[in-house]
Chains A and B, each alone.
Chain A
Amino acid sequence: MTDYIEILIDLGYVVASILFILGIKMLGRPERARRGNLVSALGMLIAVVSALLECCLSFSWVIVGMVVGASIGVIAARTVKMTSMPQMVAILNGFGGLASLLVGWENYHSSPDSNLFITIAILLAVLIGGVAFSGSVIAYGKLSQRLSGKPIFFYSQQVVNGTIIVAILLCGAIFAYNPAASFSYVIFIVIIGLALILGVLGVIPIGGADMPVIIALLNSYSGLAASAAGFIILNNVLIVAGALVGASGLILTGIMCKAMNRSLANVLFGGLQAAVSKEGTGEVQGEPHPITPEDAYYILEAARSVVFVPGYGMAVAQAQHAVRELGEILEDNGAEVRYAIHPVAGRMPGHMNVLLAEANVVYEQLAEMDHVNPIMETIDVCVVIGANDVVNPAAREIASSPIYGMPVINADKAKTVIILKRSMAAGFAGVDNPLFVKENARMLFGDAKASLQQLIAEFKEA
């Protein structure tokens, strides 16, 4: 009888793995993504039920854990604002990492005399999970602006990081040699502490605009930590699911790096150079041309084709609904309206898409950079809303610019560019933007949302 149950449990894990694979595949296609998420959730349910069949001597702790966790999860998912989505994703990711760390700890605590293979798996789960957790917490702090979004550097940072990594390797080796010794428990706790410190130090030098890369990377880590937990309890479903997430996170990381024309190493360690080279390149000549909302109205009123380029500033001003409203007015006015989205605009991969979707912008109006650039010269007006570096023509024109070579949306090639911006300040990269002083560029200074609302009012009055 028990044999049958064991087979049933194993089959449950197989089915769960298949559903995860199908779910991830469907998540990559717009028309099937929502069902894909449900398929993957069904897989998770089957995995949990299978685990419940084999896991437990006593259910009291289990029930407490699941009820508390599910309640928090439901409340958080229901109440979170779409503009807070980057930090929500970051903190959920951190929880997953910490859970894997604790699974490793519990297994070590309960059976400290495991074989070398499982001991190494415990070390990996604790290390990767710890880095994913503390890194995600820092990312959460930066994204929710509880911490400064600016990259933080201190003297000989690389040396400190290197020392910590060496210390972790040393402690790990001593620990793996004799995990059951009494001093090994102390070493184990030290390793946890070092992993947490490493996660913090790894993320504090990452500045706001590089966040999409680090979020994708941390996502990958939490998957790998789950995989490591799978090696501890010798369970294939954890290994498969964790590896899938690890791989997908790495691919997203790669896409984000490519969109910034930087290597991963440059994002992780290169913030310093960017900050230093700031002074050398600030020689943009010319005067910006400020305009009033009324002037902008006349320009837009005559436009037959308009492209909006949203950036992080749109998220900060929560201007997505106003953008959509203006877009609809322009359409009714006979203009063709599109939204051009740069892959790294905002603070997480796909950030702008989520906000515009929240404001009911339909999928067909969203254009990727590669599709919109070739037709930019035929566009009457390009409206840049709180975007800066992703429309900076210096990336094409000025070889000495730190962002030279980064693919950008060629907003400057439109017949007229209207830039909604609070001030002339440089973008995250600290690079001056020659777009702002081009002949065809018009600056509409002020809060993006307020400016848009004034524009909408102009249209309604007319």
Chain B
Amino acid sequence: MSIGLLIFVFVLAIFLGVELITKVPSQLHTPLMSGTNAISGITIVGALTAAGTGADTVASIVGTVALILATINVVGGYLVTNRMLAMFKRKDKEQK
């Protein structure tokens, strides 16, 4: 893949991100933050490769530690966000 194309994708994604979240009610700031935080755990894809193809033991260990941390970030992030969002209730739902 050409370098130019990667940078192109990066810049477009930044603009897309800005467009997506300019108007978020403050009620959702924490879940938005922890939810996007879980997405930043996407580095798990890099960590998988690192842990699975390490050139030697040092590389495998470094990669595995990266994988552990990224997995905590992903799993913990999504679960905690889900827990928070489950608490946000509206009146009509509560009466059911």
Interface string of B54-96 (1 = CB under 8 A from A): 1110111111111111111111111111111111111100100
Interface string of A52-94 (1 = CB under 8 A from B): 1011111101101110111011101110101001001100110
A43 to chain B, nearest CB (A): 8
Q: What's the A-B contact tally at a CB cutoff of 8 Å?
A: 400
Additional pairs, 11, CB under 8 Å, beyond known A96-B77, A215-B33 = A24-B36, A34-B82, A56-B52, A69-B72, A73-B72, A93-B40, A239-B9, A239-B10, A240-B13, A353-B26, A363-B89
Assess whether B21 is in contact with A55, with CB atoms less than 8 Å apart. no
CA distance A81 to B94 in the complex (A): 23
Q: Which of A51, A223, A348 is within 8 Å of B40, CB to CB?
A: A223
Assess whether A96 is in contact with B69, with CB atoms less than 8 Å apart. yes
Assess whether A92 is in contact with B71, with CB atoms less than 8 Å apart. no
Assess whether B10 is in contact with A44, with CB atoms less than 8 Å apart. no
Assess whether A222 is in contact with B31, with CB atoms less than 8 Å apart. no
**B26, B42, B72: which has the most chain A beta carbons within 10 Å?**
B42
Q: Which of A76, A100, A357 is within 8 Å of B46, CB to CB?
A: A100
With contacts A109-B58, A110-B59 taken as known, whether A92 is within 8 angstroms of B91 at the C-beta atoms is: no
User: In the assembled complex, which residues on chain A have CB atoms less than 8 Å from the CB atom of B50?
Assistant: 102-103, 106-107, 110
Assess whether A225 is in contact with B30, with CB atoms less than 8 Å apart. no
Assess whether B44 is in contact with A41, with CB atoms less than 8 Å apart. no
Assess whether A99 is in contact with B52, with CB atoms less than 8 Å apart. no
With contacts A61-B60, A69-B68, A252-B33 taken as known, whether A76 is within 8 angstroms of B76 at the C-beta atoms is: yes
User: In the assembled complex, which residues on chain A have CB atoms less than 8 Å from the CB atom of B90?
Assistant: 30-31, 362-364
Complex A-B: 21 CB contacts under 8 Å: A30-B27, A37-B85, A56-B49, A56-B53, A69-B67, A69-B70, A89-B80, A96-B40, A99-B66, A101-B66, A106-B54, A106-B59, A225-B43, A226-B40, A238-B43, A247-B18, A250-B18, A251-B18, A255-B29, A362-B89, A363-B90
State the majority secondary structure of interface residues on A.
Answer: helix
CA distance A87 to B24 in the complex (A): 22
**A51, A244, A250: which has the most chain B beta carbons within 10 Å?**
A244
Q: Which of B30, B37, B91 is within 8 Å of A351, CB to CB?
A: B30
Assess whether B33 is in contact with A95, with CB atoms less than 8 Å apart. no
Judge whether A242 is part of the interface by a CB distance below 8 angstroms: yes
Assess whether B63 is in contact with A106, with CB atoms less than 8 Å apart. yes
**Chain A, 212-251, CB within 8 A of any chain B CB:** 215-216, 219, 222-223, 225-227, 229-251
**Chain B, 1-53, CB within 8 A of any chain A CB:** 1, 3, 6, 9-10, 13-18, 20-53
Interface string of A5-44 (1 = CB under 8 A from B): 0000000000000001101110111110110111011001
Assess whether A110 is in contact with B55, with CB atoms less than 8 Å apart. yes
Chain A residue at minimum C-beta to C-beta distance from B87: A357
Q: Which of A55, A77, A243 is within 8 Å of B13, CB to CB?
A: A243
Assess whether B62 is in contact with A226, with CB atoms less than 8 Å apart. no
**B10, B40, B63, B83: which has the most chain A beta carbons within 10 Å?**
B40
With contacts A28-B32, A245-B40, A357-B84 taken as known, whether A95 is within 8 angstroms of B49 at the C-beta atoms is: no
CA distance A24 to B38 in the complex (A): 11
User: In the assembled complex, which residues on chain A have CB atoms less than 8 Å from the CB atom of B42?
Assistant: 20, 44, 47, 226, 230, 237-238, 241-242
A121 to chain B, nearest CB (A): 9
Chain B residue at minimum C-beta to C-beta distance from A346: B30
User: In the assembled complex, which residues on chain A have CB atoms less than 8 Å from the CB atom of B9?
Assistant: 236, 239-240
